[in-house]
């Protein structure tokens, strides 16, 4: 490990002066969308550069936001000169590699080793042999630069922690977006390395790592993540997929479906991934339906959550064309399955198998995929979610005891939906308005299933092609 020079940084960190406007930004709304804490009041008026998503971290092109604004009144020379990169994964000369650079925020000087350890865990997740980017480990360099903060942690409710150099903060209390108050500092720090001013290191993509143990992040110009053991790696891989391949979403309920993993229904006979199809002579759209999708961000301490919806098994169907289904949901601050009751049409779903041992007691945001092997009943269905007595009595963690998202996908019976692992075909994805696009695999891409550790073969190959192009253009 290299020694680091921190003195000039520290002096700098305590003496920043900023001058920020406060205005409101755009918040998307979907079916049954409760108003969320408005996107940071520090980001400026609705800009083209913001792609909000009610489920996952939004993406922001900060360069578009602040190119004509002076959001910082400071001299960064001392900071930049004081930065010392630590090599985390080096595969070659940085002219011929793509450089990822981690910058710390919310780590005190005493937490230098924690930062390094956090970065190493993230590195292992992405470039280990079985990691999401293991197959391009030979094209990547990974660096880490420690920028100490005065206080440990990140801000909430739009407030920065004093003396935080990059100024990572949550706009509200929810475990959702994390913004950077000082994008120009982050940008000039990245550029410093990109321009070779530090003598070593490189920065083709900046990753701002906030020292907070719970879910949060942002995509776009900067990939922002937290040190959440569970969610940090998941957000990092997903957001790097957006930035590096680049691709849009594969999960339902968003509004950006583009790139190599998405095609129009009309293109079924000429899919952009046609060379990958498992059975190119019998191409069809797999028969799945979206019965409900909601992003309630609902505080269960206030009241139970109740959502009625209709099945695609119609009341007048003689049989049930969609005999099975999947309930996919996310929760925050629910540490044990015994704290919550999910009731489908009056019958509780057993959640115990879906609260893994390693997440026992965790208040972090968590994802549950609950197979509904008997599917939905014909016509109207209702899901009710409430805290049990234990859940009510437990103390709430950051963000409150929330159901943050819920969706039910119904699968066609009689072989009309192929859920065989490894199958590459044409699977339907439904956007915020219910419009259908197609994707290559069922649940085998982390751009859809965020708990899945890998890209589908189409995205994985394109990631390699894209990095080669980016390197050739350096």
Ligand X SMILES: *[C@@H]1O[C@H](CO)[C@@H](O)[C@H](O)[C@H]1NC(C)=O
Kindly list the residues in this chain that would bind ligand X in the complex (CB under 6 A). Answer: 75, 77-78, 125, 128, 130-131, 270, 272, 278, 314, 316, 326, 369, 415, 418, 420, 422-423, 443, 449, 451-453
In the complex, minimum distance from the CB of residue 419 to ligand X, in angstroms, rounded to a whole number: 8
User: Would you give the distance in Å from CA 63 to the centre of its chain?
Assistant: 20
8 A C-beta contact, residue 223 and residue 186: no
DSSP conformation class of 253: T
> Looking at beta carbons only, is 80 or 387 nearer to ligand X?
80
| CA–CA dist 312, 430 (Å, integer) | 14
Closest approach of Cβ 250 to ligand X, in Å?
12
Q: Which residues contact 406 (CB under 8 A, 6 or more apart)?
A: 292, 293, 294, 296, 307, 327, 328, 329, 383, 385
**Nearest distance from residue 455's CB to ligand X, in Å?**
12
- How far, in Å, CA of 362 to CA of 347, rounded? 26
> Minimal distance in Å, beta carbon 323 to ligand X?
15
| Least gap, CB of 192 to ligand X (angstroms) | 14
Q: Give the shortest CB-248-to-ligand X separation in angstroms.
A: 16
Strands 98-105 and 140-145: parallel
Q: State both tokens at 409.
A: 């996908």
* Least distance CB 316 / ligand X (angstroms): 4
**Distance (Å) of CA 210 to CA 148, 404, 462:** 11, 22, 29
CB-nearer residue toward ligand X: 27 or 137: 137
Q: How far is CA 122 from CA 79, 128, 157, 189, 201, in A?
A: 25, 10, 27, 21, 18
- Cβ of residue 190: shortest distance to ligand X, in angstroms? 19
Q: Do 400 and 214 touch, CB atoms closer than 8 A?
A: no
What does the DSSP 8-state code read for residue 413? T
Nearer to ligand X, 168 or 326 (CB): 326
Q: At a CB cut-off of 8 Å and minimum separation 6, what does 450 contact?
A: 56, 234, 235, 238, 251, 367
**Length reported for the chain:** 474
What whole-number distance in Å separates Cα of residue 259 and Cα of residue 268?
15
Cβ proximity to ligand X: between 77 and 348 the closer is: 77
Q: How far is the CB of 301 from ligand X (least distance, A)?
A: 29
Contact 125, 453 (CB under 8 A): yes
Question: For residues 23 and 121, which CB has a smaller minimum distance to ligand X in the complex?
Answer: 121
CA distances from 70 to 65, 66, 169 (A): 11, 7, 20
Q: Which of 79, 70, 56 is nearest to 8 (CA)?
A: 79
**Nearest distance in Å: CB 297, ligand X:** 22
Closest CA to 325 of 366, 290, 284, 285: 290
CA separation for the pair 370, 294 (Å, rounded)? 16
| 173 or 267: CB nearest ligand X | 267
Distance from the Cα of residue 317 to its chain's centroid: 39
Nearest residue (CB) to ligand X, 22 versus 75 = 75
Query: CB of residue 17 vs ligand X: minimum separation in angstroms?
Result: 13
Count other C-beta atoms under 10 Å from residue 269's C-beta. Answer: 7
Tell me: cis bond preceding 30? Omega within 30 of 0 counts.
no
Q: How far is the CB of 36 from ligand X (least distance, A)?
A: 26
């Amino acid at each position: 490990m290299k020694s680091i020079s921190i003195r000039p940084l520290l002096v700098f960190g305590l003496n920043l002066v900023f001058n920020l406007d406060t205005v409101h930004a755009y918040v998307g709304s979907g079916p049954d969308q409760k108003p969320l804490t408005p996107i940071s009041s520090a980001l400026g008026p609705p800009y083209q550069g913001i792609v909000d998503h009610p489920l996952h971290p939004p993406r922001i092109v900060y360069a578009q936001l602040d190119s004509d604004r002076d959001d910082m009144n400071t001299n960064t020379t001392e900071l930049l000169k004081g930065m010392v990169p630590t090599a985390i994964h080096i595969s070659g000369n940085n002219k011929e590699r793509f450089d990822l650079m981690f910058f710390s925020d919310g780590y005190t000087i005493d937490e230098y080793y924690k930062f390094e350890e956090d970065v190493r865990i993230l590195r292992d997740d992405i470039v280990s042999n079985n990691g999401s980017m293991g197959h391009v480990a030979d094209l990547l360099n990974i660096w880490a630069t420690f920028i100490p903060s005065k206080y440990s942690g990140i801000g909430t409710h739009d407030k920065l922690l004093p003396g935080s150099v990059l100024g990572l903060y949550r706009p509200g209390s929810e475990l959702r977006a994390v913004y950077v108050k000082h994008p120009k500092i982050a940008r000039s720090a990245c550029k410093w390395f990109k321009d070779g001013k530090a003598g070593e290191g490189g920065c083709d993509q900046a990753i701002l790592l906030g020292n907070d143990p719970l879910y949060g992040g942002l995509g776009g110009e900067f990939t922002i993540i937290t040190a959440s053991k569970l969610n940090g790696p998941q957000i990092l891989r997903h957001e790097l997929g957006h930035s590096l391949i680049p691709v849009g979403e594969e999960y339902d309920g968003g509004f950006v479906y583009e790139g190599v993993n998405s095609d129009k229904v009309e293109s079924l006979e000429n899919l952009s991934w046609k060379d990958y199809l498992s059975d190119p002579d019998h191409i069809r759209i797999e028969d799945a339906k979206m019965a409900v999708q909601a992003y309630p961000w609902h505080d269960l301490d206030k009241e139970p959550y109740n959502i009625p919806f209709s099945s695609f098994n119609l009341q007048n169907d003689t049989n049930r064309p969609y005999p099975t289904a999947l309930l996919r949901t996310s929760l925050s601050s629910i540490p044990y399955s015994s704290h919550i009751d999910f009731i489908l049409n009056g019958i509780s779903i057993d959640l115990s198998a879906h609260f893994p041992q390693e997440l026992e007691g965790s208040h972090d945001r968590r994802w549950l995929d609950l197979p509904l092997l008997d599917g939905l009943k014909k016509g109207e269905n209702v899901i009710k979610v409430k805290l049990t007595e234990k859940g009510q009595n437990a103390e709430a963690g950051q963000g409150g005891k929330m159901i943050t998202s819920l969706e039910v996908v119904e699968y066609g019976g009689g072989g009309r939906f192929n859920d065989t692992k490894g199958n590459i075909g044409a699977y339907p994805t439904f956007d915020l308005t219910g419009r259908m696009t197609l994707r290559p695999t069922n649940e085998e891409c982390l751009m859809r299933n965020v708990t899945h550790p890998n890209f589908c073969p189409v995205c994985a190959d394109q990631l390699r092609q894209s990095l080669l192009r980016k390197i050739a253009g350096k």
